[in-house]
């Protein structure tokens, strides 16, 4: 059972601000999401341990260097940048 | 009341693979900011991490080096937290099915510090705090780490220091990391609590984050131990919290506020498939493992009778022990070889960095040849010593400095003649000696050594000279 406190706590951990008037709606939505996941969890299976849809394991890459991206490309989507760094402003 | 310290360590070690754990960016230390990055390691949506095979191999080697069990099945999990050092707001790590389970580090007092597990994970980016803002460099983000989690088995600051040193030694030894604490390739989180001596129950622990030198680990632990004992003695309670250590003041202070209380909401990373570790691969890696420092230490002390202190110096770095092993081949007394290395050779290799490389002018085979001349009685110890100095100066072999006539030493009759000549030729030194100046005899011995070109046995000469003067 999802409570308003769960939603408040998750918002806090995710550094999101949720206005008071949206709390009830979000609590209901989240409950629906969890119920949907539970429905999948409760679906009948053969009982074999299910790992992934393609039954893949041991997908690796070799330890070989691939050239990195230019710093301009890396910073292209940064909301703010300075001196070739991502810049995170202090909001307090 | 007397208290006992209880401590466990979480040690992060950067693996020296060429590339990051989930992408092909270089792991080279430093570099211009954000130049060792790609869409995978800056966590752009739609990218797919693929595990570096070498990371798994290195972690297995680490596990074997500490007697851990290699899991048959391992999985990657997401550890969620919102902080700018992680672009994705989660770190890919292992919680439910780590690669290595158990293991231990044995200390010189015979106690074993048990390990809970070792897992693989990605490193976070570097944050630079300036003018209240934060500058983020993701070059280090995605560099592979192993985290070695110990049980709370450490009982003193000395044990903690030795634990860290031994981990550092063995991980360098097997070649999976350079473990440079000053560059951050080895960092420790120290959990610490106190309890009345003789009791079983653990006290409330605090965690000191990100310690990057053994000296600071010791300082922080001493401070934190005192702080907790004082708190309990004065009727207070230790609060479970995360602390930072201030190098300048030598004190600890609280790092996180309450609203940041961890809830990492770990879950299986759906981007990364299960790791099945074939037993043949583990056995192949086990076969590749070098003889470990603890095994060498035992061989040196038990089979060769080398004192523990010396054996510890010989096994501090793999290169020194390999030098020693190759120099003792076929010699009668490995202890002589050890003495030459720790005495005369170490004097020429002063820094720890040089000791770790141990590139000495005299090659192991050359030292071996010199010691064999000594073993067979062809030369005396003092000639061997002075010859070693010349060899160290020049890089040339022993036979460049020892002639046929040097070999065979000086017989009894010849020694007597040499001593007589020294006594007769130096009346002043003889007079001084007679007047109680014992050191004066050294000049006479020196004369004998000079005239025998280093072949005479100095101790025998000293005895003979003293006898001559007494009987004069």
Contact residues, chain A, for B50 at CB < 8 Å: 59-61
Chain A interface with B: residues with Cβ < 8 Å: 9, 12-15, 51-52, 56-66, 68-71, 74-75, 77, 82-90
Q: In this predicted model, what pLDDT tens digit does every residue of B326-361 receive, in sequence order?
A: 999 999 989 999 999 999 999 999 898 899 999 999
* CB distance B33 to B224 below 8 Å: no
ipTM: 0.87
Q: In this predicted model, what pLDDT tens digit does every residue of B56-73 receive, in sequence order?
A: 999 999 999 999 999 999
Contact residues, chain B, for A86 at CB < 8 Å: 34, 84, 135-136, 138
Note whether A88 contacts B273, CB cutoff 8 Å.
no
Specify the DSSP element, H or E, that contains B382: helix B381-394
Paired strand residues for B90: B80
Note whether B133 contacts A63, CB cutoff 8 Å.
no
Q: Which residue of B has its CA nearest to A88?
A: B134
Note whether B53 contacts A65, CB cutoff 8 Å.
no
Task: Decide which of B418 and B168 is more confident.
Answer: B168
Which letter, b or e, does each residue of A38-76 get, where b requires 16 or more Cβ atoms within 10 Å of its Cβ?
A: eeeeeeeeeeeeeeeeeeeeeeebebeeeebbebeebbe
* CB distance B100 to B117 below 8 Å: yes
Which domains are seen in chain B, by residue range? 3-284 (no CATH), 291-406 (no CATH), 412-471 (1.10.10.410)
pLDDT of the residue at B258 = 46
- Distance from the Cα of B120 to chain A's closest Cα (Å) equals 14
* CB distance B22 to B44 below 8 Å: no
Instruction: State the average pLDDT for chain B.
Output: 92
- Kindly tell me if the per-residue pLDDT of A73 is higher than 90: yes
Note whether A58 contacts B84, CB cutoff 8 Å.
no
* pLDDT, average across residues A51-67: 90
- Distance from the Cα of A24 to chain B's closest Cα (Å) equals 22
Domain ranges of chain A: 4-41
Q: Which residue of B has its CA nearest to A11?
A: B82
Note whether A85 contacts B35, CB cutoff 8 Å.
no
Under 8 Å CB pairs connecting chains A and B tally to 114
Rounded to whole angstroms, how far apart are CA atoms B144 and B20? 6
- Distance from the Cα of B119 to chain A's closest Cα (Å) equals 17
Note whether B18 contacts A63, CB cutoff 8 Å.
yes
Q: In this predicted model, what pLDDT tens digit does every residue of A32-57 receive, in sequence order?
A: 999 999 998 888 877 777 777 778 89
């Amino acid at each position: 059972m999802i409570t308003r406190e769960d939603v408040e706590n998750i918002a806090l951990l995710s550094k999101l601000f949720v206005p008071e008037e949206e709390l009830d709606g979000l609590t209901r939505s989240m409950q629906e999401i969890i119920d949907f996941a539970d429905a999948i969890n409760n679906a009948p299976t053969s009982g074999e341990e299910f790992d992934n849809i393609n039954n893949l394991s041991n997908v690796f890459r070799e330890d070989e260097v691939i050239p990195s991206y230019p710093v301009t490309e890396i910073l292209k989507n940064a909301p703010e940048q300075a001196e070739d760094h991502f810049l995170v402003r202090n909001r307090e | 009341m007397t208290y006992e310290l209880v401590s466990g360590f979480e040690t992060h070690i950067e693996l020296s693979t060429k590339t990051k754990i989930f992408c092909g960016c270089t792991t080279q230390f430093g570099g211009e900011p954000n130049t060792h990055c790609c869409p995978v390691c800056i966590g752009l949506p739609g990218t797919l991490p693929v595990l570096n095979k070498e990371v798994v191999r290195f972690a297995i080697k680490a596990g074997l080096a500490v007697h851990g069990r290699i899991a048959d099945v391992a999985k990657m999990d997401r550890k969620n937290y919102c902080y700018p050092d992680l672009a994705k707001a989660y770190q890919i790590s292992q919680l439910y099915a780590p690669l290595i389970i158990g293991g231990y580090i044995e200390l010189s007092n015979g106690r074993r510090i048990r390990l809970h597990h070792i897992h693989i994970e990605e490193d976070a980016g570097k944050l630079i705090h300036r003018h209240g803002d934060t500058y983020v460099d993701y070059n280090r983000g995605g560099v592979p780490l192993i985290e070695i989690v110990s049980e709370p088995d450490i009982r003193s600051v000395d044990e903690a220091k030795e634990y860290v040193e031994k981990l550092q030694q063995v991980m360098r030894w097997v070649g999976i990391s350079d473990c440079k604490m000053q560059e951050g390739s080895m960092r420790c989180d120290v959990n610490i609590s106190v309890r009345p001596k003789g009791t079983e129950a653990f006290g409330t622990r605090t965690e000191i984050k990100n310690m990057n030198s053994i000296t600071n680990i010791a300082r922080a632990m001493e401070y934190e131990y005192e702080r907790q004992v004082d708190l309990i003695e004065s009727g207070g309670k230790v609060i479970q919290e995360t602390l930072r250590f201030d190098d300048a003041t030598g004190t600890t202070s609280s790092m996180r506020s309450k609203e940041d209380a961890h809830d990492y909401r770990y879950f299986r990373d759906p981007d990364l498939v299960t790791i099945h570790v074939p037993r043949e691969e583990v056995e192949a890696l086990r076969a590749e493992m070098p003889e470990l420092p603890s095994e060498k230490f035992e061989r040196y002390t038990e089979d060769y009778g080398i004192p523990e202190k010396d054996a510890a110096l010989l096994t501090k770095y793999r290169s020194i022990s390999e030098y020693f092993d190759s120099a003792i081949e076929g010699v009668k007394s490995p202890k002589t070889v050890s003495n030459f290395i720790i005495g005369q050779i170490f004097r020429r290799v002063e820094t720890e960095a040089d000791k770790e490389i141990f590139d000495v002018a005299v090659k192991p085979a050359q030292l071996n040849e010199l010691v064999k001349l000594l073993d067979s009685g062809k030369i005396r110890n003092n000639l061997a010593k002075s010859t070693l100095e010349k060899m160290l100066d020049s890089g040339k072999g022993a036979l460049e400095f020892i002639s046929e006539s040097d070999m065979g030493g000086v017989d009894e009759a010849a020694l007597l003649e040499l001593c007589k000549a020294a006594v007769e030729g130096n009346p002043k030194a003889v007079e001084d000696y007679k007047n109680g100046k014992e050191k004066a005899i050294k000049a006479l011995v020196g004369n004998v050594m000079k005239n025998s070109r280093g072949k005479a046995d100095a101790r025998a000469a000293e005895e003979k000279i003293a006898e001559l003067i007494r009987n004069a």
